[in-house]
Amino acid sequence: MKAISIGLLGLGTVGSGVVKIIENHQDKLIHQIGCPVVVKKILVQDLHKARPAEVDTGLLTSNADDILHNADIDVVIEVMGGVSETKEYLLSALRQGKHVVTANKDLMALHGSELLRVASENGCDLFYEASVAGGIPILRGLVDGLASDRITQMMGIVNGTTNYILTKMSQDGLAYEEVLKEAQELGFAEADPTSDVEGLDAARKMTILATLGFSMHIDLDDVKVSGISTITEEDLKYGKQLGYTMKLIGFAHREGEKVEVSVQPTFLSDNHPLASVQNEYNAVYVYGEAVGETMFYGPGAGSLPTATAVVSDLVGVIKNLRLGVNGRSAVTPQFQKQLKDDSEKYSKYFLRIHVRDEVGVFADITSLFAKYGVSFEKILQLPIKKNETSEIVLVTHRSSLTNYENILSELNDLQAVKEIKSSYRVVRKSL
């Protein structure tokens, strides 16, 4: 049986993993798809850089056209990253009738719908399982496994760097900066960690998940984002007392026809399935009307885990090739996007404030919450030794975001309030 020929765009961490898996698991691939899989050409920037032993340097090229306009190549695997140039490459490949597998979350979050449309117009598959949560087959889980259900909520720990940092801060009682530095030394965080720690990476993945899970085209701009860089060890200590674990949660919620998508540090109750996801692991919690609670857990990054998702997608493309049904599995969104207003977004909140240690202060604060109809689930008032300051830690019952932001703003204006130290969303196990 004629071999299927692959063109690989990029030979970094994931690309090397793809080469390894295609080589090491060739017998399983042949058994499943009935023919060999051969990497024919690999696009790299520098032809002379040292490469892993598995790579035949004769395959390397620095000219993308050797792949995109190579009639022998059936499938293009994109693991080079980047957006503008990469998008042009993939559009060109699709227009040449080549199927595409990509691991590129930035590209799919920004231009996924255009690329999927062009793929469909050209009868090509475009698969991107590896773009979200690395080795976890979550996109297939949503599209195929839960095909019959109506998904109403997704909560994702979809960034390994931040989960590693929060785990270490929580376990060892260390400060953010200290753990970040250690994570950088260990290779769990980039030299410039902004995209991870400020939640942008997670937001891109939530864009992809929400679009698929809610069958509604969600843009990156629709995702409200905040990161973990201002979280303190005090916050985590209070969380522990209250039975909460801090995670950076990508949150996608549908109520009726309206959705919200956000990324933010969140206190989860310790018995939430996501609370026990530690270190660099990822997990996506999916709530469906019929199925109830499910969770998909695994490595969110890394050479071989991510490459597993890429090559599993490749198996899907080749199965379709052999059945003659490529380009027919993508489903266009069913619904027009409708985003919730802030007045329709409900949550519980953790709030830590410093107030003057004076008579009547507590009454002022509680009456402000009462004015907006927000009541408390828990209140801790703790005297702080210096400067006649009290620290108050509150957990509210459900409040609309509008009301809660009004409360925060009026708290800031209260003469008795010295500082709002921190505020986080709180999610309990039961919805």
Give the interface with its own copies as residue ranges (CB under 8 A): 17, 20-21, 24-25, 27-29, 31-32, 129, 135-137, 140-141, 144-150, 215, 271, 273, 276, 278, 281, 288-299, 302, 304-305, 307-312, 314-316, 319, 323-325, 328-329, 331, 334
**Least distance in angstroms from the C-beta of 259 to its own copies:** 15
- Cβ proximity to its own copies: between 182 and 293 the closer is 293
**Least distance in angstroms from the C-beta of 325 to its own copies:** 4
**Amino acid identity of 115?**
L
Q: At a CB cut-off of 8 Å and minimum separation 6, what does 268 contact?
A: 244, 245, 246, 247, 249, 274, 275, 427, 428
Of the candidates 41, 87, 105, 205, the residue annotated as catalytic is 205
What are the angstrom distances between the C-alpha of 228 and each of 122, 221, 253?
42, 19, 21
DSSP codes, 42-98: EE-S-TTS---TT--GGGEES-THHHHT-TT--EEEE-S--SHHHHHHHHHHHHTT-
What span, in angstroms and rounded, lies between the C-alpha atoms of 62 and 199? Answer: 33
**Least distance in angstroms from the C-beta of 171 to its own copies:** 11
- Cβ proximity to its own copies: between 251 and 281 the closer is 281
**Least distance in angstroms from the C-beta of 150 to its own copies:** 6
Contact (CB, 8 A) for 116 and 183? no
DSSP codes, 90-113: HHHHHHTT-EEEE--HHHHHHHHH
Active-site residue flag, 205: yes
What span, in angstroms and rounded, lies between the C-alpha atoms of 326 and 298? Answer: 29
What span, in angstroms and rounded, lies between the C-alpha atoms of 263 and 253? Answer: 12
- Cβ proximity to its own copies: between 170 and 308 the closer is 308
- Cβ proximity to its own copies: between 142 and 417 the closer is 142
- Cβ proximity to its own copies: between 63 and 271 the closer is 271
- Cβ proximity to its own copies: between 61 and 278 the closer is 278
**Least distance in angstroms from the C-beta of 197 to its own copies:** 24
What are the angstrom distances between the C-alpha of 10 and each of 43, 44, 81, 181, 319?
5, 6, 8, 29, 24
**Least distance in angstroms from the C-beta of 13 to its own copies:** 13
Helix ranges, 122-175 (H) = 138-140, 160-172
For 145, which DSSP code?
I
Q: 349-366 in b/e burial notation, b at 16+ Cβ within 10 A?
A: bbbbbbbbbeeebeeebb
The catalytic residue positions are 205
